A and B are shown apart, each in its own frame.
Chain A
Amino acid sequence: MSPRAVNPPVPAATDPASIRNFCIIAHIDHGKSTLADRMLQITGIVSDRDMRAQYLDRMDIERERGITIKSQAVRMPWQQGDRAYALNMIDTPGHVDFSYEVSRSLAACEGAILLVDAAQGIEAQTLANLYLALENDLEIIPVLNKIDLPAADPEKYAKELADLIGGSPDDVLKVSGKTGVGVEELLDRVVERIPAPVGDADAPPRAMIFDSVYDSYRGVVTYVRMIDGQLKPRERIQMMSTKATHEILEIGVSAPEPQPSKGLGVGEVGYLITGVKDVRQSKVGDTVTTAVKPATEALAGYTEPLPMVFSGLYPIDGSDYPELREALDKLKLSDASLVYEPETSVALGFGFRCGFLGLLHLEIVTERLQREFGLDLIATAPSVVYEVTTEDRKTVTVTNPSEFPTGAKITEVREPVVKAAILAPKDYVGTIMELCQSRRGTLLGMEYLGEDRVEIRYNMPLGEIVFDFFDQLKSKTAGYASLDYEPTGDQAADLVKVDILLQGEQVDAFSAIVHRDKAYAYGVLMTGRLRELIPRQQFEVPIQAAIGARIIARESIRAMRKDVLAKCYGGDISRKRKLLEKQKEGKKRMKMVGRVEVPQEAFIAALSGDVEKKDAKK
């Protein structure tokens, strides 16, 4: 007998007892999307013919990286015994940068599938999300995925999971999203274990926004979880944080294509369309109620997204600046946490100072700008938010090294601190501790997960993490370590601004706020990089690193002595002219720092650390 529901429950007329709301907590590439795809197929809402790999990950970037950036919800029918159920699967972002969005997605559920790769075991981000799920009182269903892989070790990892969340290793389900093995059993377990939602059907409606997506055709699509009451088409609704009101033009569920309905009732999950064009008018975590008889109390847990990491984004071709502005304006419509303002740089020209939730968010935004808008960009070294107090008791918030006060004497600099959790095989403990120590970390604790994996917890300045910490961690642990962090506050630290000067001219893009003990190393690193990258000029170019007026490191680029074609006879002239014309074109990509011509590529390479020796010839 097929467990596909014969008479699936209808939205707006579904008994909450027949609803199960759950999400899947998994690490990148542990197979969440593939498992979700199998569920869509097995419940029959996506026909085999329409199935495409990773149906739910809509953006190219997501599909390529195998990670989920924006969540969605899908309503799937499922039959058990003589009862038909509506299973709402809420897809959560997997990354720590989006922990607020994760927390809201979790708040929309009563249960969670904890999905772990049977060949790799649990990772730090998964652990972090698992903590969040337990904090939200979610029922956890532990599942090992990819049991079809030859390297799978289900016994070992079942024990690890059981140790972690309690219960017996036998309770851990073993599935393969790829082959479909165990997926029906998993759906049954969802029905059995996860509690049905409860709410007051007669109270004024309250729905929690757990995602808000911009669609260029339909405007903002708001995903909600109904807590109390009902919402209907053409009803006037109110956003409780802003009191803004809108009319519901369409309401419905995703199956997984949008399916308009007569409304949404208690415990249901679906979407609203009001015609607004900006996701900022429909904020994740906000409560939707009716405008006529609004609820008095908003649902708990709403906060404004706070950018943690800042970076300057510049078009490589300066004439693309208006396009960059337009692209950011468009991106903002679908990304409520992206903030930006115009900024200029001597080295890089006109650009924008952008705030991000974290490094991955920065990377994703940059990549979307490049891919979806065809822009060639350079991002300056990421910076965090510092609070700098000067002698005159003024405090300045610094998100860009150029804002670091220079005139007055500085009495205190405070920097953001995070609690970092690193999960790795035990053999790497020494290496990891060394790295964290070198990044001014303080050990908080260490715990074994199973026999050979360790969770190491550190208090660390966020500024140290944003500066290539993750890359270092990965490379020092052969890619095995995973990292999660959450902000815990701030601390005073001995931080200074190091400037880089080219022939006495400050190159703003390379200024950095670093700990005094690291200033020299940073100066040596950057001056060395620039010496390798900047082509020789017709004069000697000193490159210096300085704290205020004090030079802490110095390199120099020797003057170029020969730049002439030896032979230029009849047959060489066309070639020579064309070369000259090409060089003139190339010069447009040169940035002038004082009299020094610096190829844009050199700045980019110096910022990215991608240093190859400059070509001796042009």
Chain B
Amino acid sequence: MGAALPLGEPAPADGLLPASAALGAAGRAFGVYVHVPFCRVRCGYCDFNTYTSDELRGAKQSDYAGEAIGEIRMSRGVLEASGLPARPAQTVFFGGGTPTLLPADDLVAMLGAVRDEFGLAEGAEVTTEANPDSVGPDDLARLAAGGFTRVSFGMQSAVPHVLAALDRTHDPERVPLVVGWARDAGLDVSLDLIYGTPGESLDDWRRSVEYAIAQRPDHLSAYALIVEEGTKLARQIRRGELAQPDDDLEADMYELVDERLATAGYEWYEVSNWASNAGQRSRHNLGYWRGDDWWGVGPGAHSHVGGVRWWNAKHPSAYADRIAAGVSPAVGREVLDRAARETERVLLRARIREGLEISTLHTGGRHAVAALLADGLVDARAALSGVLTLTRRGRLLADAVVRRLLEDSVVE
């Protein structure tokens, strides 16, 4: 999640949602995201809302679980008072930051609060992100025992000079270890990879991909490095110390990973995500792309319920103060109008393999499909059965495709 909060209207102190948020809620899945805003060190490329111990200004890592639990308790009241039906959480996702910097018991306690307030649906997916060097076998076993089903490791690369450029501190040799421990604990495993790091060659990338596949994870994510304003990486590039990632090389890298993963039996289901089978897709993340509802817990966390997006106070100490005062931690929100919701629907759905039903597009969008087909950006077989799904080339140009689909759109 980007560091800067969006511009929106102020959120009310009681956190109550407008009546429109409840419309159609029964048909939407509900999930919970819990943000853990702590890291041991800040990586040079990262602009996520996370803090090292000396940046916390009085907020305490040890108090955090209690504060987050406070928000979880508050959230049920807000949803109820806003007219939302009671829905069990289908998914819970702990992201960061580095969630595993907190004791496993804290994570289990927060999950417990979700279970208490909302209930967990049968077969719920419960994920935590983890750094290969911040978890041991005991932690993973305790998480599994506490109800976690899945762990996503930030492997990023298998090549030491690439990890160094990213400021990642772990030894690539540690990845097989943590994957093994997670397996032993009965957890599903996902690996995160980053490509396009300054200094990373296509061969470096191939090595990382092969190394990741060799671990036989259930799920893989591969992200092109985004150089965010305000990061150390952006400064290093501006000063000419590091090279700006090259779009063409990144395209080669994407093609490489998509091809290798396909050969190894993984299917893409979102632009940057692959799974060993449909059951291993991240249901939590699919919720974001399908426009489902979720409550985001923690500093700077974003939530979405029925076309209302809001976001919490960014700094952990400001967040803690609000929770202590019994005030909603939300500081800003936007109530999407119909046009904005349609824009989001198209831009998110176009990214996933499930795709967009072509008949739901406005006329201009439907007309654009033919040209997109001709350009090889849209899968022909899917299109003929009425669904817009991107080809590999189309995924690399997904933003351009979305612009064409929305061109001249008039949504009344």
The finding on whether chains A and B are genuine partners in a shared complex, rather than unrelated, reads yes
For the complex, give the distance between the alpha carbons of A566 and B250 in Å. Answer: 11
Contact across chains for A570 and B294 when beta carbons are under 8 A apart = yes
User: Which residues of chain B are near A580, meaning CB under 8 Å?
Assistant: 343, 347, 399, 402-403, 406
Contact across chains for A539 and B348 when beta carbons are under 8 A apart = no
Report A28 CB to chain B, min CB distance, Å.
41
Report A583 CB to chain B, min CB distance, Å.
6
Q: Does B251 count as interface, using CB distance less than 8 angstroms?
A: yes
Contact across chains for A575 and B348 when beta carbons are under 8 A apart = no
Contact across chains for A577 and B347 when beta carbons are under 8 A apart = yes
For the complex, give the distance between the alpha carbons of A562 and B309 in Å. Answer: 29
Q: Does B164 count as interface, using CB distance less than 8 angstroms?
A: no
Q: Which of A539, A568, A570, A617 contacts B375 (CB 8 A)?
A: A539
User: Which residues of chain A are near B402, meaning CB under 8 Å?
Assistant: 580
User: Which residues of chain A are near B377, meaning CB under 8 Å?
Assistant: 538
For the complex, give the distance between the alpha carbons of A565 and B397 in Å. Answer: 9
User: Which residues of chain B are near A577, meaning CB under 8 Å?
Assistant: 340, 343-344, 347
Q: Does B272 count as interface, using CB distance less than 8 angstroms?
A: yes
User: Which residues of chain B are near A617, meaning CB under 8 Å?
Assistant: 247
User: Which residues of chain B are near A569, meaning CB under 8 Å?
Assistant: 1, 285, 288
Closest residue of chain A to B304, judged by CB? A570
For the complex, give the distance between the alpha carbons of A276 and B302 in Å. Answer: 67
Closest residue of chain B to A539, judged by CB? B375
For the complex, give the distance between the alpha carbons of A573 and B251 in Å. Answer: 23
For the complex, give the distance between the alpha carbons of A539 and B403 in Å. Answer: 16
Q: Does B203 count as interface, using CB distance less than 8 angstroms?
A: no
Interface residue SS majority, chain B = mixed
Contact across chains for A562 and B396 when beta carbons are under 8 A apart = yes
Q: Does A581 count as interface, using CB distance less than 8 angstroms?
A: yes
For the complex, give the distance between the alpha carbons of A22 and B377 in Å. Answer: 75
Q: Which of A563, A575, A584, A587 contacts B6 (CB 8 A)?
A: A575
User: A574-B302, A574-B334 in contact; A564/B1 too (CB < 8 A)?
Assistant: no
Most chain-A CB neighbours within 10 Å: which of B288, B294, B296, B303?
B288
Contact across chains for B33 and A566 when beta carbons are under 8 A apart = no
Contact across chains for B347 and A575 when beta carbons are under 8 A apart = no
Contact across chains for A573 and B288 when beta carbons are under 8 A apart = yes
Q: Does B30 count as interface, using CB distance less than 8 angstroms?
A: no
Report A536 CB to chain B, min CB distance, Å.
8
Interface residue count for A (Cβ, 8 Å)? 29
Report B344 CB to chain A, min CB distance, Å.
5
Contact across chains for A575 and B2 when beta carbons are under 8 A apart = yes
User: Which residues of chain A are near B311, meaning CB under 8 Å?
Assistant: 571
User: Which residues of chain B are near A564, meaning CB under 8 Å?
Assistant: 224, 271, 395-399
Contact across chains for B223 and A584 when beta carbons are under 8 A apart = no
Report B97 CB to chain A, min CB distance, Å.
13
For the complex, give the distance between the alpha carbons of A584 and B340 in Å. Answer: 13
User: Which residues of chain A are near B309, meaning CB under 8 Å?
Assistant: 573-574
Q: Which of A561, A571, A583 contacts B251 (CB 8 A)?
A: A561
For the complex, give the distance between the alpha carbons of A583 and B407 in Å. Answer: 11
Q: Does A576 count as interface, using CB distance less than 8 angstroms?
A: yes
Q: Does A578 count as interface, using CB distance less than 8 angstroms?
A: yes
For the complex, give the distance between the alpha carbons of A570 and B288 in Å. Answer: 6
Report A584 CB to chain B, min CB distance, Å.
7
Contact across chains for A563 and B399 when beta carbons are under 8 A apart = yes
Q: Does A572 count as interface, using CB distance less than 8 angstroms?
A: yes
User: A573-B288, A584-B403 in contact; A563/B397 too (CB < 8 A)?
Assistant: yes
User: Which residues of chain A are near B247, meaning CB under 8 Å?
Assistant: 560-562, 616-617
Report A7 CB to chain B, min CB distance, Å.
72
Closest residue of chain B to A537, judged by CB? B400
Q: Does B69 count as interface, using CB distance less than 8 angstroms?
A: no
Contact across chains for B397 and A560 when beta carbons are under 8 A apart = yes
Contact across chains for B33 and A563 when beta carbons are under 8 A apart = no
User: A564-B271, A573-B344, A580-B343 in contact; A538/B397 too (CB < 8 A)?
Assistant: yes
For the complex, give the distance between the alpha carbons of A564 and B272 in Å. Answer: 10
Q: Does A567 count as interface, using CB distance less than 8 angstroms?
A: yes
Report A575 CB to chain B, min CB distance, Å.
6
Contact across chains for A573 and B304 when beta carbons are under 8 A apart = yes
Q: Which of A539, A561, A567, A578 contacts B396 (CB 8 A)?
A: A561
For the complex, give the distance between the alpha carbons of A577 and B8 in Å. Answer: 13
Contact across chains for B1 and A570 when beta carbons are under 8 A apart = yes
Report B392 CB to chain A, min CB distance, Å.
11
For the complex, give the distance between the alpha carbons of A568 and B377 in Å. Answer: 20
For the complex, give the distance between the alpha carbons of A550 and B33 in Å. Answer: 63
Most chain-B CB neighbours within 10 Å: which of A562, A573, A580?
A562
User: Which residues of chain B are near A583, meaning CB under 8 Å?
Assistant: 403
User: A561-B396, A572-B1, A578-B6 in contact; A566/B272 too (CB < 8 A)?
Assistant: yes
User: Which residues of chain B are near A573, meaning CB under 8 Å?
Assistant: 288, 302, 304, 309, 344, 348
User: A570-B302, A572-B1 in contact; A562/B251 too (CB < 8 A)?
Assistant: yes
For the complex, give the distance between the alpha carbons of A217 and B15 in Å. Answer: 60
Q: Does B79 count as interface, using CB distance less than 8 angstroms?
A: no
Q: Does B226 count as interface, using CB distance less than 8 angstroms?
A: yes
Contact across chains for A572 and B375 when beta carbons are under 8 A apart = no
Most chain-A CB neighbours within 10 Å: which of B6, B340, B377, B407?
B6
Closest residue of chain A to B226, judged by CB? A566
User: Which residues of chain A are near B148, meaning CB under 8 Å?
Assistant: none
Closest residue of chain A to B288, judged by CB? A570
User: Which residues of chain B are near A572, meaning CB under 8 Å?
Assistant: 1-2
Report A76 CB to chain B, min CB distance, Å.
60
Contact across chains for B250 and A562 when beta carbons are under 8 A apart = yes
Closest residue of chain B to A573, judged by CB? B344
User: Which residues of chain A are near B271, meaning CB under 8 Å?
Assistant: 564, 566, 568
Contact across chains for A562 and B397 when beta carbons are under 8 A apart = yes
Contact across chains for A574 and B6 when beta carbons are under 8 A apart = yes
Report A61 CB to chain B, min CB distance, Å.
38
Contact across chains for A563 and B400 when beta carbons are under 8 A apart = yes
Closest residue of chain A to B253, judged by CB? A562
User: Which residues of chain A are near B393, meaning CB under 8 Å?
Assistant: 561
User: Which residues of chain A are near B251, meaning CB under 8 Å?
Assistant: 561-562
Most chain-B CB neighbours within 10 Å: which of A563, A564, A581?
A564
Report A613 CB to chain B, min CB distance, Å.
12
User: Which residues of chain B are near A560, meaning CB under 8 Å?
Assistant: 247, 397, 400
For the complex, give the distance between the alpha carbons of A39 and B311 in Å. Answer: 69
Closest residue of chain A to B336, judged by CB? A577
Closest residue of chain B to A576, judged by CB? B347
Closest residue of chain A to B351, judged by CB? A568
Most chain-B CB neighbours within 10 Å: which of A560, A572, A574, A575?
A574
Convert B370-396 into 0s and 1s, putting 1 for each residue whose CB lies closer than 8 angstroms to a CB of A: 000001010000000000000001011
For the complex, give the distance between the alpha carbons of A159 and B186 in Å. Answer: 102
Q: Does B248 count as interface, using CB distance less than 8 angstroms?
A: yes
Closest residue of chain A to B395, judged by CB? A564
User: A573-B288, A573-B348 in contact; A566/B224 too (CB < 8 A)?
Assistant: yes
Report A301 CB to chain B, min CB distance, Å.
59
Convert A538-571 into 0s and 1s, putting 1 for each residue whose CB lies closer than 8 angstroms to a CB of B: 1100000000000000000010111111111111
Report A281 CB to chain B, min CB distance, Å.
48
Contact across chains for A538 and B375 when beta carbons are under 8 A apart = yes
User: Which residues of chain B are near A562, meaning CB under 8 Å?
Assistant: 224, 247-248, 250-251, 254, 396-397
For the complex, give the distance between the alpha carbons of A570 and B244 in Å. Answer: 27
Q: Does B179 count as interface, using CB distance less than 8 angstroms?
A: no
| 5 pairs of residues in contact across A and B, judged by CB atoms under 8 Å | A561-B396, A562-B250, A573-B304, A574-B8, A580-B399
- Using a CB–CB distance below 8 Å, which chain A residues touch chain B? 538-539, 558, 560-578, 580-581, 583-584, 587, 616-617
A561-B397, A566-B271, A587-B407 known; 11 new pairs, CB 8 Å cut-off, are A561-B247, A561-B251, A562-B247, A562-B250, A562-B396, A563-B396, A565-B226, A566-B223, A568-B348, A573-B302, A583-B403
Sort A-B residue pairs by CB-CB distance and give the 7 closest, nearest first. A571-B1, A561-B251, A571-B302, A566-B224, A564-B398, A566-B223, A574-B6
